[in-house]
Structure 1
């Protein structure tokens, strides 16, 4: 009897051990690391030990020792952001699901003894799920696709964080630049307002002109307070994204945004690049593949939902005779009288069609997003460049000429001050235009590689925002 049960266990185990998988040493992070390095040229780290945490901390301190560039801020966030680390933990959990799905089901061993009226019966049996064994290769293949999706989702979260950090960095530096400009403007406006009051006391300036100077000072003061508030909030957001606190909050930033590139990028094939490289589209393609495999699996097992093979060894003790053993097997299956599997097949087919239509819709949207992002990028560059090459130089000439005329008493102080206000408006416009350009540059990278905000309506495993096949086919 024992030999019989052991042999049954061995046969059952051998049936599925060929599909077993082991845990990877890095919890699937190699794919995330390679993708991030190839896409945005940055490093990632999954902190799982004290040594790893110490290494990350040393790297962050090294980067914080210098004035932060946008690239350095992104690198700090990718190493130090705890929310991203939690995403990598989810990837590690997804690997456990992959390993679990690759293992054959555990056999169930049971023993029972029944006595009564002087007789006793001992029954031992080992039960295995034959259907689970038969479908193990299919389930393992689907689980591998799901794990690949989890890896790409982790890469998507990494790109999303990098894009958020770049935007926060641009807004913070531009905000500081605006604060510096308005601080100087406020000092000038304050001196002018005081001068207007003195001239009004002597009768050299009427009340209308006095009110104009005073309101300009008041408006500049309010603008400066607003700019300081925005810059402070932007810096706090940047600190949050980089995962900094306490001593790390005193990081240094440049006084102004970097100069514009000499020429904008030319991307005639941006739609093809977006379809080929967008990580969310790669996730969607894998989702559609997994659904197709699930549909095939449903059709293959539609008439068998439960099939157990039980190896039985029974020993009966009768007081009036010698004990005897019974051996054999017991097969149980569900008879499809009321539900022949059509419901599950229809559900699987409609789920697949739903995902395919979402996929196609997203493909159209991605192409549109890429085109629009490039148009915004080019127009933002043209506007910022127009300020830098035309408006600001002309304003400088006007200011110099007005100062010469004021020195020769051809114009009065108020004409000079009027020109100063106009120059301030141009400088503010130039800062805003440069900020929009660098934000558009980040959005362009996001449109090509992925990492933007989640699609409206949310995502799930069957209706995740998707794209068409890589060749843009039908």
Structure 2
């Protein structure tokens, strides 16, 4: 005859099984949820898809996609896409974020119950008695604080998501800025080569004219000095082009074979028709900054920790044990024991003071981040607008004026009103103006990337708006 199960015992078993499933949980869903949130934010904020390469097949496909993008001149958007879908540095950051997410999940779990077993033999021979003790101990305080620890773990997961979004944003900004510098350096190099060509011509002509007695030693020395300066400028330009190209290779995570096949456009993109308006970077942009959101999330975590500390600083352990002991010839003993540390030597006041101070530090840190964020946005927009106005000034005023001067001097040369050296000097000055215009255009696109970084909460240094551009244009003419 089958024995009917005890309904009460059955309900306890079902409840225990459900609790075990609920409390143990799984770290994988939290990792996947965090990655999906970071991927969505990347798509919305950066306009590019983030990929986490967790399998060999995914890595092979990513390499194939990168090779296809490198088969043509690399655009700025393609550089960002490669950085977010292939860069080993970013892939490492994503994996580290997943490990931290698993640790946050682990922090919300209960410690495992402890089962202890005792087997004692008393006496010898036929008078030997056997005692067996069994005990199951549960961390009761941890069970009572489980909801608070779960909320704390959720706050930590939010922190990790924001940190991951920041890593992705930084990778995109670095790739964008590296692309701008590499293209600008390559474009400037082409014009420095033209300066060198003009210097070659003037130095050779000066040598010949001195040889036939039509040029003084001083006049030839001036042309030779300009040639020597042009050679030095060209060497620096070549090094700058190589250095910025390698910086781009590192930002994208390309290997040696891919770096060799990297092709860049011949010139930077044109300036936009109109600059972005300042009101677009007001309170809404400030609230959307990652560092502001991260500071608020950190404040939430510290507040949760402070609430837990108020309890655990006084009573840091409470264990409930269920026991069953049996001995030879005696009925079994059943019961429970409760283990509670007594706050005699340590009342927990130091822990509570530390938690209060940490909360005040986080509160003021959040306020400081808000002040800095607003200031950085204003500074970033000021740099952006200055760079735009300066680049447009070179494009619309200085370069056209230099072109007009060159055209007029060419007419004067054809009319034998000026000599060939004056014409070459004017050509050098026009090339120098074009190089300065390239520098101004480069500074604008770097300031544009800096403004995007400031809106994201990842500020980057902005190019200085000096009176003289960084590359200084062509060397001074010798006429």
> Does the pair score TM above 0.5?
yes
Q: 2:148 aligns with which of 138, 145, 149?
A: 138
Q: 1:262 aligns with which of 258, 273, 293?
A: 273
How far the C-alpha of 1:58 sits from its partner, in A, is 2.7
Deviations 1:255-296 (A, max 9, x none): 111111111111225141332111122111111011111111
Structure 1 gap ranges (5+): 455-474
Give the distance between the partners of 2:165 and 2:66, measured in 1 at CA.
21
Q: Secondary structure at the match of 2:279?
A: coil
Alignment of 1:170-319 (within 5 A): 170-249=180-259, 250-317=261-328
What is residue 76 of structure 2 aligned with on the other side? 70
Classify 1:303/1:217 alpha carbon distance in 2 versus 1 (closer, same or farther; 3 Å). same
Give the distance between the partners of 1:299 and 1:16, measured in 2 at CA.
27
Classify 1:326/1:11 alpha carbon distance in 2 versus 1 (closer, same or farther; 3 Å). farther
Alignment of 1:9-158 (within 5 A): 17-22=21-26, 23-24=28-29, 26=32, 28-117=34-123, 118-158=128-168
Give the distance between the partners of 2:19 and 2:201, measured in 1 at CA.
90
Contact 1:173 1:253 in 2 (8 A): yes
Contact 2:38 2:165 in 1 (8 A): yes
Classify 1:359/1:41 alpha carbon distance in 2 versus 1 (closer, same or farther; 3 Å). same
Give the distance between the partners of 2:369 and 2:161, measured in 1 at CA.
21
How far the C-alpha of 1:245 sits from its partner, in A, is 1.5
How far the C-alpha of 1:301 sits from its partner, in A, is 3.3
Q: Secondary structure at the match of 2:278?
A: coil
Q: 2:428 aligns with which of 414, 421, 424?
A: 421
Q: Secondary structure at the match of 1:259?
A: coil
Larger deviation: 175-184 or 197-206? Answer: 197-206
Q: Secondary structure at the match of 1:125?
A: strand
The aligned length equals 447
Classify 1:154/1:128 alpha carbon distance in 2 versus 1 (closer, same or farther; 3 Å). same
How far the C-alpha of 1:78 sits from its partner, in A, is 0.8
Deviations 1:236-270 (A, max 9, x none): 11111111113312121111111111111112251
Contact 2:391 2:444 in 1 (8 A): yes
Deviations 1:338-377 (A, max 9, x none): 2222111111110011111111112111111100110010
Larger deviation: 428-437 or 409-418? Answer: 409-418
How far the C-alpha of 1:411 sits from its partner, in A, is 1.1
What is residue 402 of structure 2 aligned with on the other side? 395
Q: 2:172 aligns with which of 162, 172, 189?
A: 162
What is residue 467 of structure 1 aligned with on the other side? none
Contact 1:314 1:325 in 2 (8 A): yes
Contact 1:77 1:243 in 2 (8 A): yes
Classify 1:104/1:298 alpha carbon distance in 2 versus 1 (closer, same or farther; 3 Å). same
Give the distance between the partners of 2:229 and 2:69, measured in 1 at CA.
39
Give the distance between the partners of 1:329 and 1:412, measured in 2 at CA.
110
Give the distance between the partners of 2:315 and 2:19, measured in 1 at CA.
19
Give the distance between the partners of 2:319 and 2:205, measured in 1 at CA.
97
Alignment of 1:363-382 (within 5 A): 363-382=370-389
Q: Secondary structure at the match of 1:328?
A: strand
Larger deviation: 445-454 or 177-186? Answer: 445-454
TM-score (norm 1): 0.90
Give the distance between the partners of 1:220 and 1:31, measured in 2 at CA.
53
Say whether residues 1:344 and 2:351 are aligned partners.
yes
What is residue 442 of structure 1 aligned with on the other side? 449
Q: CA RMSD in A?
A: 2.2
How far the C-alpha of 1:19 sits from its partner, in A, is 4.7
Give the distance between the partners of 1:34 and 1:212, measured in 2 at CA.
62
What is residue 464 of structure 1 aligned with on the other side? none
Give the distance between the partners of 1:201 and 1:262, measured in 2 at CA.
54
Contact 2:138 2:320 in 1 (8 A): yes
Contact 1:97 1:143 in 2 (8 A): no
How far the C-alpha of 1:302 sits from its partner, in A, is 3.2
How far the C-alpha of 1:417 sits from its partner, in A, is 2.5
Give the distance between the partners of 1:126 and 1:104, measured in 2 at CA.
15
Give the distance between the partners of 2:190 and 2:381, measured in 1 at CA.
31
Deviations 1:412-458 (A, max 9, x none): 1222223223223212211111110000000000000133459xxxx
Structure 2 gap ranges (5+): 1-5, 462-479
How far the C-alpha of 1:11 sits from its partner, in A, is 7.3
Contact 1:288 1:356 in 2 (8 A): yes
